[in-house]
């Protein structure tokens, strides 16, 4: 992989992650200097970034983006996905309110926690560990469902789903634009 390809892959990754243009330019300048120094020393660009350029770019983006901002983004996108799933549930049941039971609440809490933790990590656990995490989450939700019973805690009105879509909407639109613009580059 050439230095230009490494820089292009990193730029694409950073833009997709929503890093502002000034920071992307600064990071690219710094990476370009490191790649030129490595080339002058007789090393390749992959000696600098490693075998997987996307992993390198993701790690640098994580280091550049503060944790509170990543948490806010992950929580907002989690609400966005939850809103769409709830809209689907309303449409399938053809109702304007959903009964929320302790088991239903436990399932969402466990799945949300696992999803946000996974998103914050931004890594791949591998297929066996991924299935292990999924199984642990499912068993935890099933156990909580069994212990909590089936009484209705509250009813969730239809307007709650669009309300959950609002916090993640700017991030979802920004991600869609970044993907569309990245596809042309």
Q: Output the pLDDT for position 16.
A: 77
- Rounded CA separation 103/88 (Å): 19
Quick check: 81 and 67 in contact, CB under 8 A? no
Q: Output the CA torsion 164→169→175→181 (10° steps).
A: 160
Q: Output the pLDDT for position 160.
A: 94
| 41-49 average pLDDT score | 90
User: Whole-model pTM?
Assistant: 0.58
Q: Output the pLDDT for position 24.
A: 86
């Amino acid at each position: 992989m050439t230095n230009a390809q490494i820089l292009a892959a990193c730029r694409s990754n950073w833009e997709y992650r929503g890093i502002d243009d000034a920071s992307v330019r600064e990071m690219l300048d710094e990476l370009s200097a490191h790649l030129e120094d490595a080339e002058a020393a007789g090393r390749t660009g992959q000696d600098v970034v490693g075998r997987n350029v996307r992993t390198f770019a993701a790690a640098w983006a994580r280091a550049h983006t503060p944790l509170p901002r990543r948490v806010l983004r992950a929580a907002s996108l989690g609400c966005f996905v939850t809103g769409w799933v709830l809209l689907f549930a309303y449409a399938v049941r053809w109702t304007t309110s959903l009964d929320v039971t302790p088991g239903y609440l436990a399932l969402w809490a466990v799945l949300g926690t696992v999803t946000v933790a996974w998103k914050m990590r931004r890594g791949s656990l591998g297929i066996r560990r991924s299935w292990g995490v999924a199984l642990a989450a499912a068993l935890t939700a099933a156990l909580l469902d069994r212990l909590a019973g089936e009484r209705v805690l509250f009813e969730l009105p239809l307007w709650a789903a669009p309300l959950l879509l609002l916090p993640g909407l700017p991030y979802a639109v920004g991600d869609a634009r970044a993907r569309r613009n990245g596809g042309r580059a």
